[in-house]
Amino acid sequence: MVAIPYTHADDNAGMEFFEARIRPVLVKHCYSCHALETGTAKGGLRLDTRASIRAGGERGPAVVPGDPNASFPAQWDPKLGIHVT
């Protein structure tokens, strides 16, 4: 096994990607039902903070780090037309 060092730059790049590509999708398609700002958290799921996304809701975590197939984007209803790559 080879250890790959984690750097602060990795975190910054991840945050930049999230803010540029992911958050706009969440705001457009998800916040109306899953954000503190709107007063709703259907299924106990909030998607407006990193901690709440990782905590998940009644069905478990919304994001499973390192396992995209178990994370919520892989489970979205295709009728929403949401594809995050």
- Three-state SS for 79? helix
pLDDT at 76: 60
How far is Cα 8 from Cα 10, in angstroms, rounded to an integer?
5
pLDDT at 79: 54
CA distances for 3 relative to 6, 7, 8, 9, 64, angstroms: 9, 13, 16, 17, 20
Asked if 54 and 61 touch (Cβ cutoff 8 Å), the reply is yes
pTM: 0.65
| Residue pLDDT, tens place only, 15-40 | 888 889 888 888 888 888 889 888 88
**Average pLDDT score over the chain:** 76
| pLDDT over threshold 60, residue 71 | yes
pLDDT at 59: 81
